[in-house]
Amino acid sequence: MKKFATSICLVLLLSGNIAAAQDKPAQLSGFDRDRARSMLQMIADDVRKHYYDPKFHGLDWNARVAEARNKIDSSPSFNMALSHIAGALDALNDSHTFFLPPSRPYRHDFGYQTAMIGDRCFVLRVRPGSDAEGKGLKPGDEVLTINGFAPSRDNLWKMQYVFESLRPQASLHLQLRSPSGADRPLEVLAKMQPMLQVKDLSNGNDISEIIRDYEDEDRRMRTRWQELGDLYVLKISRFLFSDSEADDMIGRARKHKAMIVDLRGNGGGAVDSLQSLLGRLFENEVKIADRVRRNDTKPFVAKSHRNPYNGKVVVLVDSRSASASELFARVVQVEKRGVVMGDTSSGSVMESMHYRYQTGTQTIAFFGASITDADLIMKDGVSLEHHGVVPDETVLPTAADLAANRDPVLAHAAETLGYKMTADEAGKLFPYQWSKQ
């Protein structure tokens, strides 16, 4: 299935020996150094073959790979060597081209989530029972710095990638500002929970645990909805659903005069799901974008459904809305099919393929890379990459709203469609569900 990248994530690894992915305080062994060189070479070769721009935006790709190889040769640790592989890909400045390092033998969780709201970074939620909660971190706290770095729209995802996936930190030093305006420092410890290492797939207990993990993820990311008189509110966490599921979503919508499609926090997903849902909003075929590949340019369209929804539509986006969710919102906006509200979206809109690799024989390391194979130029001739979708109406929650679990964005959207809803009521419609630990 062709996908838009959703976010930086690790390749699922079901292996009994992944010691090479752990922190190594001792000198990097020759074996692991060779392994890092091999990883770099495999990924670099596929970038040469598949990256959509054969000129690499003017970057001398061969020289950049050689630079990374030289840095690996002098790296003191395996994690640092992996960082140089990630750095080579990051030089392309492409949201969908990135390194997927070998998986860790543990789940790494700081127990809180942040997001950019406007140009400021705020804590959205804090996991109950976490070290962060115990030390007084609260929703609505503004994050001024993380380990000394000021977060921005350009670098927050990179900080999360480095501190949580590429080179996991045992703790983070935060400089915070509370909704009252008081500043304070805070050190937050990560929870390191060992992951199941499957050695024998015939072990029923092991398989049951894997299944439970998948079911938990599906439960958290499922599409949810509320039917409120003439208003239908559809909360889509990811574009990963079938045609029949899209039929169900829009089938319910047809009973209502207006629909809010809430794509806040939606990092993207599958091409087919995007086409399926968009096609159910238009009477005729609609052009999503032009796919600009290495050797050709072709239109990317959504075919109209035989019985599309014809009521009013409002789409909600925020800084975490990325890729497919941005395309959905922009098509609705360009085609004047509805109104987009919220915050400027992520600006992470390319099309890519994920490549999976392995290196080693007795000790195998699984890793991967996402490589962009198409830029997407919208009907107005503009790419959303690094720009995002600018809402027709900007509506942002305040620090006090976050602290009180109020949702003024959803409440305002409902009011414009004739449904009275307070921000407190809106904040309770779709309660957040943490993953199990």
Question: Do 112 and 231 have their domain in common?
Answer: no
Question: Do 343 and 403 have their domain in common?
Answer: yes
List Cα–Cα distances, 65 to 165, 173, 254, 372, in angstroms: 22, 33, 53, 17
Question: Do 247 and 288 have their domain in common?
Answer: yes
Quote the domain boundaries for residue 189: 107-194
What pLDDT does residue 364 have?
82
Name the domain count of the chain: 2
Question: Do 328 and 265 have their domain in common?
Answer: yes
Cα–Cα distance, 424 to 42 (Å, whole number): 52
- Does the pLDDT of residue 13 top 90, yes or no? no
Instruction: Please choose, from the candidates 378, 290, 323, 375, the residue with its C-alpha nearest in 3D space to the C-alpha of residue 56.
Output: 375
Question: Do 173 and 233 have their domain in common?
Answer: no
Among the ranges given (58-62, 76-80, 176-180), the one the predictor scored with the smallest mean pLDDT: 76-80
Residue 157: inside a domain:
yes
Cβ neighbours of 19 (radius 10 Å) = 12
Q: What is the per-residue pLDDT across 92-136, written as a single tens digit (0 to 9) for each?
A: 999 999 999 998 777 889 999 999 999 999 999 999 999 999 999
Residues 287-299, mean pLDDT to the nearest whole number? 96
Question: Do 248 and 286 have their domain in common?
Answer: yes
Cα–Cα distance, 310 to 94 (Å, whole number): 36
Domain boundary among 140, 160, 194: 194
Residue 251: inside a domain:
yes
Question: Do 170 and 229 have their domain in common?
Answer: no
Looking at the chain, the whole-number percentage of residues with pLDDT higher than 70 is 88
CATH number, domain with residue 399: 3.90.226.10
Question: Do 321 and 272 have their domain in common?
Answer: yes
Q: What angle do CA 96, 392, 231 make, to 5 degrees?
A: 100
Residues 34-55, mean pLDDT to the nearest whole number? 97
Question: Do 270 and 382 have their domain in common?
Answer: yes
Q: What is the per-residue pLDDT across 369-392, written as a single tens digit (0 to 9) for each?
A: 999 999 999 999 999 999 999 999
- Helices 61-73 and 30-50 cross at an angle (nearest 10°) of 170
Residue 255: inside a domain:
yes
Cα–Cα distance, 251 to 2 (Å, whole number): 26
- Per-residue confidence at 7, pLDDT binned at 50, 70, 90? very low
Cα–Cα distance, 188 to 329 (Å, whole number): 36
What pLDDT does residue 345 have?
98
Question: What is the residue-wise DSSP string for 287-311?
Answer: EEEEEE-SS-EEEEEEPPPSS---S
Residue 45: inside a domain:
no
Residue 203: inside a domain:
no
What pLDDT does residue 15 have?
26
Q: What is the per-residue pLDDT across 322-351, written as a single tens digit (0 to 9) for each?
A: 999 999 999 999 999 999 999 999 999 999
Question: Do 262 and 404 have their domain in common?
Answer: yes
Residue 361: inside a domain:
no
What pLDDT does residue 103 have?
82
CB 121, CB 177: distance < 8 Å: no
Domain boundary among 159, 194, 229: 194
CB 376, CB 300: distance < 8 Å: yes
Residue 24: inside a domain:
no
CATH number, domain with residue 171: 2.30.42.10
Question: Do 326 and 229 have their domain in common?
Answer: yes
Residues 226-247, mean pLDDT to the nearest whole number? 96
pTM listed for this prediction? 0.89
Amino acid symbol at 383: S
3-state helix, strand, coil in the chain (%, to 5): 30, 25, 45
What pLDDT does residue 299 have?
96
Question: Do 154 and 253 have their domain in common?
Answer: no
- Per-residue confidence at 210, pLDDT binned at 50, 70, 90? very low
